[in-house]
Amino acid sequence: MNIVKEKFIISKIYGAFYEIYHPVLGFSNAVLKGKLRLAPKEERHPFVVGDAVIAEKTNEQEWMIREKLERKNFLARKSDPSDTHVLCANVDYLLVLASMIDPYTKDNFIDRCLAACYQNKIEPIILFSKIDLVSEDDVQERMEKYQSLGYTVFGYTFTEPDTLKPLLTTLQKKVTYICGNSGVGKSTLINLLTGKSLQKIGDVSNSTGKGKHTTTNSTVVLIDEATILIDSPGIKEWGLLHLTPGQIYESFPEFHEAQRNCGVVGCCMADKNCYIKENLDTIEISDDRILSLDAMLGSLEELGRLKITQFTRKRRR
Ligand SMILES: Nc1nc2c(ncn2[C@@H]2O[C@H](COP(=O)(O)OP(=O)(O)OP(=O)(O)O)[C@@H](O)[C@H]2O)c(=O)[nH]1
Ligand SMILES: [Mg+2]
């Protein structure tokens, strides 16, 4: 008997059951081979959405996953020292969906997402949603802040689907993981981009203005066979315990020029002879970005932490 083997990506995980995707064969159900059921040390699950696998056909309806292929990249969150949560693998973009209101996405949430993808060389896209509910000036101000730092930024509202056209062009033939707080409109966005109502949409709570965690599993949804979106459950915060203070500094474009002058490969934030610390007054960075950086470093450990007071003292001199 001929053994049929194909390369797929994991498109959805339901407990021990898997859905896998192949550009020609489409979506199929799959199960795991015995030893593959063990999660790698430090990870929650044996596989994540986006993982590339080799699967063997067992019957008309089902495939057996035989082998996990090496990851090109992955995105992880770590809020607890003993628990790394790998969110997805093999993606081209991290789309950070930031709602202007109901719920308001804090800049610090965006900055954490940017730091998480910087180390894995995954390109971020920032999309401000619900722009119909606030003034144009407010939208402009938030978009310009990140555009001026060199990021790709868009704004959109479901009341004017044409506002999605520039984003749709950017996403062509790419794999994009969409993240954001609950209720920012991730599933709404995916339904609009695909033109299908595949993802369930939930209300935002009237009393708290927050979402109700409608999406519970990460899921691949296709715009076409090569343009892949991954919907994800809303998250409150992106824990960065897997990064060092130096890696967080490196994710801030404001420091890139100083890092080039530093001469050390990779930001080490050495206590002595640190080029950045010695040249703080020449670095252009806004106070709200320093506060955001400080909050991120503060959630790691004291080492390498650069207090806002240290900055202001040095600048006022
Ligand atoms: N006014 C306005 N409301 C929007 C817009 N986009 C989404 N919404 C509403 O926001 C609410 C939440 O949308 P969802 O798409 O379920 O949000 P989500 O990010 O997928 O939420 P979780 O699955 O809980 O993480 C729904 O009531 C949507 O109708 C928008 O552009 N403008
Ligand atoms: Mg959702």
Residue to mutate (ligand 1; options 139, 201, 215; most atoms within 8 A of CB): 201
Angle between helices 107-119 and 287-298 (to 10 degrees): 60
Question: Given the CA of residue 231, which atom of ligand 1 is nearest to it?
Answer: 20
> What one-letter code names the amino acid at 91?
V
pLDDT class of 1 with cuts at 50, 70, 90: low
Ligand 1: residues within 6 Å at CB? 129-130, 132-133, 157-158, 180, 182-188, 201-204, 211-215, 233-234
pLDDT of residue 244: 87
In the predicted structure, residue 287 carries a pLDDT above the cut 60: yes
pLDDT class of 299 with cuts at 50, 70, 90: confident
Q: Which two tokens stand for residue 181?
A: 């707080």
In the predicted structure, residue 306 carries a pLDDT above the cut 60: no
Question: What does the pLDDT look like over 29-40, one tens digit per residue?
Answer: 999 877 888 777
For ligand 1, atom 3, the nearest C-alpha belongs to: 130
Q: Percentage of the chain surpassing pLDDT 70?
A: 93
Q: Which of 1, 111, 196, 303 is nearest to 187 (CA)?
A: 196
Which residue is associated with the tokens 């966005």?
A: 189
Q: What is the mean pLDDT of the chain?
A: 90
Q: What is the pTM of this model?
A: 0.93
Question: Given the CA of residue 182, which atom of ligand 1 is nearest to it?
Answer: 25
Those residues whose C-beta lies under 8 Å from the C-beta of residue 220, and which sit 6 or more positions away, are: 9, 11, 12, 21, 49, 50, 228, 229, 230
Ligand 2 centre from 6 Cα, in Å? 31
Ligand 2 centre from 40 Cα, in Å? 28
Question: What does the pLDDT look like over 161-183, one tens digit per residue?
Answer: 999 999 999 999 999 999 999 99
pLDDT of residue 271: 65
Ligand 2 centre from 215 Cα, in Å? 4
Q: Which of 16, 27, 11, 22 is nearest to 61 (CA)?
A: 27
pLDDT of residue 99: 98
Q: Is 63 exposed, middle or buried (0-12, 13-18, 19+ CB in 10 A)?
A: buried
Question: What does the pLDDT look like over 199-233, one tens digit per residue?
Answer: 999 989 888 889 999 999 999 999 999 999 999 99
For ligand 1, atom 8, the nearest C-alpha belongs to: 185
pLDDT class of 252 with cuts at 50, 70, 90: very high
In the predicted structure, residue 157 carries a pLDDT above the cut 90: yes
Ligand closest to Cα of 157 equals: 1
